[in-house]
Structure 1
Amino acid sequence: MSIKNDIAMVREELNSEEKFFEKAVITEKFIKKYKNLMIGAVVVLVVAIAANVAYSINKQSQITAANNALSTLSEDATNSEALLTLKSISTELYDAWRYSNAVAKKDMVTIKELTNSSAVMIGDLAKYEIAQDAKDAASLDSYASTQDAVYKDLALVQSAIILMNNSQIQKAHEKLAKVSTQSSMSKIANALLHYGVK
């Protein structure tokens, strides 16, 4: 009986070793077949990680350079080198700098140039400044009718005030009725509707 058990154990060991070698041969064939593909995938992964790290470092470097240029300009607005650096690194930040200076100096020529800014917010604010400077209800209405205008409700209130000053009360009330109820200008619009010239 013990010999039978020994033979069965030896047979099981041989079967398990045979299966192990069979799997090893299959794995070896698989590795040989796809070796270049696996090496390529590892190389692509390493290159992608390196490119991502290099991009992040470059982006951070640009942000630091733009901040330094802006800091220099805040101390000395006439520094042309810092202005050129800012323009080459970030056109949106450059336009924001130009806009803030133009508003402070009431430079309508520069503000008019900025209406086509690549920075959407700067372009919108420049359009509002142009409409407000015209002191004309039609210009303010034109601005307020643009989609996503930042100062839409303010432009409507200013337009209504101009119309009230020109004794066009009905048109002024129509403008005030367009002011959004969620707007901070709604209280002013309501006050003008109820207590303004009737």
Structure 2
Amino acid sequence: MAIKDDLNYIKTEISSQEQFLENAIRSERFIKKNKKIIIAIVAAAVIALIAYAVLNQIKSSNIAESNSAYTTLLSNPNDKKAKQTLIEKNPSLFALYAIKTAYDSNSTEILDEASNLTSDPLLKQILQNAKGDNSDGLLSTYNSLVKGYELLTQNKLPEAKIEFSKIPSNSPLEPIAKNLEHYQGK
């Protein structure tokens, strides 16, 4: 009986070794057959990784340069080189600098310059609001809400109701305005 078991064991071992060799031969044939495609896929993956690393490095460099220019402009607002660097590298950060400068100096010239540079519609709306150009939109609705609340805190209820009525009914701030109006800011 032991000899039969030994023979069966040897047969299964040979069978598994045959399968291993058979799979090795199949994979070798597959690699030879698709060698160019495999090399192309590996090369594309390597190029993609290198491109990602380079773009990430460029982005980090731009962020560092724009932060440095912003810091320089905060300490020396007359630095033209830092201003130009900030405009080129990060127009959105320049817009924030313009808002701060406009509030400090009560000048809207820099806000006009920043609104011409940026392509972000929300940032343009913020710049227009900072200039005092209240247009239809979320910021003008927010301003109405804030003004109404300030009037409520001063116990000017009719003026606050008028200010709250400027908020459109489809605005996300409308329920807040209704609650403030109902509870009179308390």
CA distance in 2: counterparts of 1:129 and 1:13, whole angstroms: 82
CA distance in 2, matches of 1:182, 1:46: 54
Q: Matches of 1:58 and 1:36 in 2, distance apart? A: 32
> CA shift at 1:90, angstroms?
0.7
Structure with max Cα Rg: 1
Change (3 A) 1:9 1:98: closer
Map of 2:176 onto structure 1: 182
**Percent of pairs with identical residues:** 23
User: How many residues were matched structurally?
Assistant: 170
Q: TM-score, normalised by structure 1?
A: 0.65
RMSD over aligned Cα atoms: 3.9
Q: Which has the higher contact order (CA 8 A, sep 6+)?
A: 2
TM-score, normalised relative to structure 2? 0.68
On the 8 A contact 1:103/1:111 being kept in 2, the answer is: no
Cα distance, 1:156 vs structure 2: 5.6
CA distance in 2, matches of 1:39, 1:99: 53
Distance (whole Å) between structure 2 residues aligned to residue 88 and residue 113 of structure 1: 13
Within-5 A mapping of 1:30-179: 30-115=30-115, 117-131=118-132, 140=134, 143=135, 145-146=136-137, 148-149=138-139, 152-155=141-144, 158=147, 173-177=161-165, 178=167
Letter in 2 for 1:155: S
Instruction: Measure, in 2, the Cα distance between the counterparts of 1:182 and 1:190.
Output: 11
Structure 2 SS opposite 1:77: coil
Offset, 1:112: 4.5
SS in 2 for 1:78: coil
Mark the runs of 5 or more structure 1 residues left unpaired by the alignment: 132-138, 162-168, 192-198
Provide closer, same or farther for how the CA distance between residues 82 and 6 of structure 1 changes in structure 2, counting only shifts above 3 A.
Answer: closer
1:109 CA displacement: 3.7
Gaps of 5+ in 2: 151-156, 168-172
